[in-house]
Structure 1
Amino acid sequence: MADGKSQPLARKSGQHPEKALSAAFVRTVKDPGKYFDGHGLFLKVEPSGAKRWVQRIVIRGKRREIGLGPVSLLSLAEAREAALENRKQARSGGDPLSDKRAANAVPSFEEAARKVHEIHRPSWRNPKHAAQFLATLETYVFPRMGRVRVSEVSTGDVLAVLTPIWLTKPETARRVRQRIGTVLKWAVAQGWRQDNPADAISAALPRQEKGQEPRKSLPYPDLPRFMADLRATKASDLTKLALELVILTACRSGEVRLARWDEIDLDRAEWTIPAERMKAKKPHRVPLPERAVALLLEAKALGERMGDTSGLVFPGTKAGKPISDMTLTKLVKVMGYDVHVHGFRSTFKVWAQERTNMPREVTEAALAHTIQNKAEAAYARSDLFEKRRKLMCSWSRLSARQDAKVVNLLAA
């Protein structure tokens, strides 16, 4: 009809027309207007020529209109089926309009992942971990299923992401799987789905080689030579001092790089690392041997000459930023040693086992390892600080000379 008004259709016994439209009519009609079919369903043709399905329906006593979708995506038969289902739901007391809005509110996997990232950001130990969470998803997951609604992600989607990297990049693949699972667990908690496909695909993935290769460490008899080479290298003084402190304290590199002067008491030769920077999320007291105190005094003098006001013990080249992890890694490689910075903790552990008679719990406390046995942990109230001080002083002496004898640290 040319005047844009609703098409006059014959009614059966004074009721609304049933299946008044035909597929051919829907395909060819061009005049703007509303063309009714049945169960409140009508075809709306816009002046622009766009066509879409709308249903007029009574929901809990109120007359409402529900958009069902464009003709290009929904055929006449499909629109009729949707309209009939909506009407049945409304008659039984349901609210198809509210359900439709809820369905449209379900985010895509990428949207959900970014939301989860924001929620978990405060719990990550450092910005690097937070960045890695999103970086792996952006690289491996979002291109494949980022636009899929989080409620519709299937095991097939997860398999399509993991299969290409499961054997070639096993560690990365495991992390990607864990991060997908974290996002989907959040979706379950939101009520958008009932299952977690990331937990249900183990049988569909090939077997990986067990474990990862341990980080390379330095044999402890080689430590004096390494320390002599370190002091002789042409690297910046602050970088050399930072690496030496990593070794002397058996701390993780991040704990040393981010160290601040307000954490260190040089008079008492103690360094207290705050809980937020520790892996176990507990404060950790570190006894400082004589050489550690001396190198910290050197670092303090260097910082003052640089005019640094950040409060960092080892400031980097960028104002307010510490030296980077790669700076220490690069220094070790330049020195010609095929070892990992983190591996010096293993060097310390093996030395303590083979060359001292200190109990295992003392060396574990020195490494800030968590006691796994909950019952044992409940009674372990002491941080064994004085025993650790003896241990670390002996370790410091080893760095200056070869010491092949077993050190009796308990005899005193």
Structure 2
Amino acid sequence: MNITLSFNFAQKITKTGRYFDSGSGLHLWVKSPSKKYWIFRYMKLGKRQDMSLGVFPFISLSEARKGAMEARIKLAQGVNPIEDKRALKKDSLKEQTKFKDFAKSCIELKSPEWKNSKHGDQWTYTIEEFANPVIGDKPLNEITTEDILKILQPIWLNKTETASRLRGRLEWILASATTRKLREGINPAQWRAHLDTILPKPKKTNKTKHFKALHFSQVPTFISQLREREGISAIALEFAILTCARTGEVIGAKRSEVQDGVWTISGERMKAGKEHRVPLTTRTLELIEIGKYLDPDSPYLFSIEGKALSNMAMYSVAKRMGFDTTVHGFRSSFRDWVSELTDYPTELAEKALAHTIQNRVEAAYRRGDLLAKRLSLMEDWSDYCAQGSTTNVVALKTA
């Protein structure tokens, strides 16, 4: 219906329908007495299109007519007003979305694929420590290559591995922003054919720094002093050393994983993603019993009031003891001991460390886990570590 619209008409009309303002393309769409919308109708490329201008009475008649006039001007300029409105909305969203907020949401979305919460902590730390001070408050579409260089260059030479991992994380976050149409153009954190033309290659910048480790000859002394310390973290650390396990594998170990003298770690908790069986020696079984005695109702092998130990618990013990080593470093101590003081084959040591065989053909022939032979190896390692030591004694209550 074509009429000259007025405020009174728009306010009083209750009959559903579309009421057009004479010759302007503007009309009032009445869906119900309480739902009325201003619409601008036009033809573009032979197709009828309706553009929403707002809700009556929040948008007045004069505001709706002004909106319709601006839309007609755009049409005269060859611009589709609906597409223009969408583009402005996208630009507004780009300007509103700050890097720090988007990065946080990206980390939360990616977290389910990580086997260990430590990975999420590392992502969060590097972003908050190095990236956010530079680009945290910047809209995603305004981040440039110069911004990325301001983040990376100060740490590229002296913290090369951290910087390289951070660059990869930034590239992933900004790629996600592009996928969601929150930014356009080249990814400023991209390495190939971009940052590699500015920054030196990480592998040629700094040699990989291995985990600090004690010489195997120092391990018996360390174990001797360790057994003099109280607390569940010291018990867990000895267990980690004697089983050659990684920190995450030990602090996440549960009693349900131990059966018939074998500790079975699921692939989800292993670095290589494959199940690993650990033959338990006399001493490691004793350590498990001590852990059970200290926290009887816990599901974990080593815990405090049912809660798993932190990533830093075992390392802190070694640090307080005054030894310059990491928990992971004892795996290297074990490997060197096998090579220099025993006749055990390399294959057995690699199996004990749950290392993946890189050669696919060789790996195909080595499908067994050599459990029985590894038990003999781990008993010898346990005996070597215990030279000159007395074991932890826990006074068990009698019935």
How high is the TM-score relative to the length of structure 1? 0.70
Alpha carbons of structure 1 residues 390 and 229: separation in structure 2 relative to 1, 3 Å: same
Q: 1:134-173 CA deviation, whole Å, 9 max, x = no partner?
A: 2321232223223444344321221122223323433332
Shift of 1:288: 0.5
Shift of 1:358: 2.8
Alpha carbons of structure 1 residues 256 and 85: separation in structure 2 relative to 1, 3 Å: farther
For 1:205 and 1:293, the matched residues in 2 are separated by: 51
Structure 2 match to 1:245: 239
**Is residue 2:170 matched to residue 1:180?**
yes
**Is residue 2:42 matched to residue 1:62?**
no
For 2:353 and 2:300, the matched residues in 1 are separated by: 22
Q: How does 1:10-159 map to 2 (within 5 A)?
A: 58=42, 60=44, 61-62=48-49, 64=51, 87-90=77-80, 95-106=83-94, 107-159=97-149
Structure 1 match to 2:220: 224
For 1:57 and 1:211, the matched residues in 2 are separated by: 67
Alpha carbons of structure 1 residues 379 and 102: separation in structure 2 relative to 1, 3 Å: farther
**Is residue 2:188 matched to residue 1:197?**
yes
Structure 1 match to 2:299: 311
Shift of 1:221: 2.0
* 2:216/2:336 contact within 8 Å kept: yes
Alpha carbons of structure 1 residues 130 and 222: separation in structure 2 relative to 1, 3 Å: same
Q: 1:51-85 CA deviation, whole Å, 9 max, x = no partner?
A: xxxxx895743364799xxxxxxxxxxxx9xx769
Q: Single out whichever of 154-163 and 185-194 deviates more from structure 2.
A: 185-194
Alpha carbons of structure 1 residues 89 and 373: separation in structure 2 relative to 1, 3 Å: farther
SS of the aligned residue for 2:213 comes to coil
SS of the aligned residue for 1:125 comes to coil
Q: 1:23-68 CA deviation, whole Å, 9 max, x = no partner?
A: xxxxxxxxxxxxxxxxx9xxxxxxxxxxxxxxx895743364799x
SS of the aligned residue for 2:278 comes to strand
**Is residue 2:310 matched to residue 1:324?**
yes
* 1:86/1:96 contact within 8 Å kept: no
Structure 2 match to 1:361: 347
Counterpart amino acid of residue 258 in structure 2? I
Counterpart amino acid of residue 195 in structure 1? I
Q: 1:214 aligns with which of 197, 207, 210?
A: 210
Alpha carbons of structure 1 residues 165 and 221: separation in structure 2 relative to 1, 3 Å: closer
Alpha carbons of structure 1 residues 399 and 154: separation in structure 2 relative to 1, 3 Å: same
* 1:257/1:322 contact within 8 Å kept: yes
Structure 2 unmatched ranges of 5 or more: 1-24, 26-39, 55-69, 389-399
For 1:387 and 1:212, the matched residues in 2 are separated by: 33
Q: 1:268-298 CA deviation, whole Å, 9 max, x = no partner?
A: 2100112222112222111111111122222
Shift of 1:396: 1.2
* 2:295/2:306 contact within 8 Å kept: no
Structure 2 match to 1:162: 152
How high is the TM-score relative to the length of structure 2? 0.72
Structure 1 unmatched ranges of 5 or more: 1-39, 41-55, 68-79, 403-412
* 1:188/1:195 contact within 8 Å kept: no
Shift of 1:245: 0.5
Shift of 1:225: 2.0
Q: 1:65-107 CA deviation, whole Å, 9 max, x = no partner?
A: 799xxxxxxxxxxxx9xx769943429xx82223333444444
RMSD of aligned Cα (Å) = 3.1
Q: 1:200-239 CA deviation, whole Å, 9 max, x = no partner?
A: 212323566423422221111222222212112x332x22
* 1:235/1:331 contact within 8 Å kept: no
Structure 2 match to 1:235: 230
* 1:271/1:287 contact within 8 Å kept: yes
* 2:252/2:308 contact within 8 Å kept: yes
Counterpart amino acid of residue 175 in structure 1? R
Alpha carbons of structure 1 residues 147 and 87: separation in structure 2 relative to 1, 3 Å: farther
* 1:285/1:385 contact within 8 Å kept: yes
For 2:128 and 2:53, the matched residues in 1 are separated by: 36
For 1:85 and 1:143, the matched residues in 2 are separated by: 44
Q: Single out whichever of 255-264 and 194-203 deviates more from structure 2.
A: 194-203
SS of the aligned residue for 1:235 comes to coil
Shift of 1:339: 1.6
Count of equivalent residues:
323
Structure 2 match to 1:4: none
* 1:151/1:193 contact within 8 Å kept: yes
* 2:43/2:49 contact within 8 Å kept: yes
Shift of 1:188: 4.0
Counterpart amino acid of residue 176 in structure 1? L
SS of the aligned residue for 1:164 comes to helix
Counterpart amino acid of residue 369 in structure 2? D
SS of the aligned residue for 1:311 comes to coil
Alpha carbons of structure 1 residues 173 and 397: separation in structure 2 relative to 1, 3 Å: same
Alpha carbons of structure 1 residues 260 and 103: separation in structure 2 relative to 1, 3 Å: same
Structure 2 match to 1:407: none
